[in-house]
Structure 1
Amino acid sequence: MNYDEKQLKKKRNYKPFIIATTILLNGVIFVLAGIPGVENFTAFDPTILPLMNAILNSFTFLFLVGALIAILKKKVQIHRRFIYAAFTTTALFLLTYTTYHYIAESTPFGGTGLVAYIYYFLLITHILLAAIIVPLALTSVARAWNMENERHKKIARWTMPLWLYVSLTGVIIYVMISPYY
């Protein structure tokens, strides 16, 4: 019996982890959105964190593009490494994002007219899809780990474009709001 056959017999149930992680992450971000920030925070300039968020989102986007190219070329191991890299940069993003929203007040967008409509459209779709991408990405990777390749492909067809959109719009949103920090 080879490694793949052993893995097929030993499938793990990741559903409780996926549900708990989704609720925890989305809950923390929701709560942080409603708090005013830490008063008199002086350890460092917190406006550096949104730039870090944009850089991490840029890397996530590039890693996802690399993963997509790799899987289209049937380079599964390279695809897997790019996906792990995307998860890593996303995790680091979540750390810097939650830190920023804990220590700093939200920055209002100062643009007007058509630019404001574009900004808020991108922001709202980004927020909604970011909340949705958490269980989708975790389910995609869990199915891959369980060697459920057909089920993995089905959900990855939704996960990949949405995750690409979320990471790219995160960068665009930063560029649009950065003059107002």
Structure 2
Amino acid sequence: MKEKNIDEKYSIEKKFNALIITLSIAVPVLVAILFKVKLKDYGIDVEPLTFLPPIYAFINGITAMLLILGVYAIKNGNKKMHQNLMQSAIACSVVFLVMYVAYHMTSDSTPFGGVGIIRYVYFFILISHILLSIAVIPLVLITYVKALSERFDKHKKIAKITFPIWLYVAVTGVIVYLMIAPYYVY
């Protein structure tokens, strides 16, 4: 395989810059808007998708495992496995997002019923999870584009920032689900 010259590498990155910016803004805004949209309010009669939360929590867990395995693969020099694992982690994150939005468009939000210190712990984890899930979008996209453009020095540098944030978001997604699961009404 022929190595890309520096102009080709920058050209690939330039092609994706507008998309990265657009998705980094549009995804959180659309999720926030769609989170407030209830299909029943628009006369669309659908059953609440109450079965989704454990599934998308499981997908968050899978994402965390894929991220860890991806780091393990690259540290052992297996670039192809690393690439496949990271692409799978991105796909899992997209599937999670679709399910999350679908659930919230068909079901009322579940209030956390815990009291005392656990309530503060829950909201700390939830708020940090939400804020970092917004921040991780451009980080993942930039990291991925650096790899696509074969600028592996830059990829590695930003991946050291992206990985712990993305892993935190995936793991706290599972924790948030486990903490609120007793309060779901099925």
Q: Same fold (TM over 0.5)?
A: yes
Task: Report the counterpart of residue 4 of structure 2 in structure 1.
Answer: 5
Q: TM-score, normalised by structure 2?
A: 0.90
- Whole-angstrom distance in 1 between the partners of 2:98 and 2:147: 25
Compute the displacement of 1:45 (Å): 4.3
Partner of 2:130: 127
Give the 3-state SS of the residue equivalent to 2:57 in structure 1: helix
Which whole-Å CA distance do the structure 1 matches of 2:110 and 2:39 have between them?
Answer: 11
Query: What's 1:32 paired with?
Result: 34
1:37: Cα distance to partner? 5.6
Matched residues, percent identical?
A: 35
Task: Letter of the 1:29 partner, please give it.
Answer: V
TM-score, normalisation: structure 1: 0.92
In 1, distance between residues paired with 2:175 and 2:52?
15
CA distance change for structure 1 residues 49 and 155 in 2, over 3 Å: closer, same or farther? same
Q: 1:101 is aligned with what amino acid? A: H
* Structure 2 contact 46–106 (Cα < 8 Å) conserved: no
Distance 1:69 1:25 in 2: 29
Q: Which residue of 2 aligns with 1:141?
A: 144
**Cα contact 1:37–1:105 (8 A) shared by 2:** no
Deviations 1:33-63 (A, max 9, x none): 3345635876444111111110110111111
Quote the residue 2:19 is aligned against. Answer: 17
Question: Does structure 1 conserve the Cα–Cα contact (< 8 Å) formed by 2:39 and 2:46?
Answer: no
Conservation of the 8 A alpha-carbon contact between 1:57 and 1:168: yes
Partner of 1:77: 80
Are the aligned partners of 2:60 and 2:174 in contact in 1 as well (CA < 8 Å)? yes
- CA displacement 1:93-121 (0-9 Å, x = unmatched): 01101111111121110101111111001
1:78-98: CA deviation from partner (whole Å, max 9, x where unpaired): 111100110111110011011
Match of 1:97, as an amino acid?
Y
Residues 112-138 of structure 1: CA distance to partner in whole angstroms, max 9, x if unpaired? 111111100100000000000000000
Q: Following the alignment from structure 2 to structure 1, what is the Cα–Cα distance between the partners of residues 72 and 109? A: 37
How many residue pairs get aligned? The number is 179
Q: Which runs of 4+ in 1 moved over 6 A?
A: none
**Does the CA-based 8 Å contact 2:69-2:85 persist in structure 1?**
yes
Aligned partner of 1:107 among 106, 110, 116: 110
- Separation (CA, whole Å) in 1 of partners of 2:4 and 2:154: 17
| d(CA) in 2 for partners of 1:110, 1:35 | 24
SS at match of 1:10: helix
Secondary structure, counterpart of 1:109 in structure 2: coil
1:88 aligns with 2:91: yes
Q: CA RMSD in A?
A: 1.7
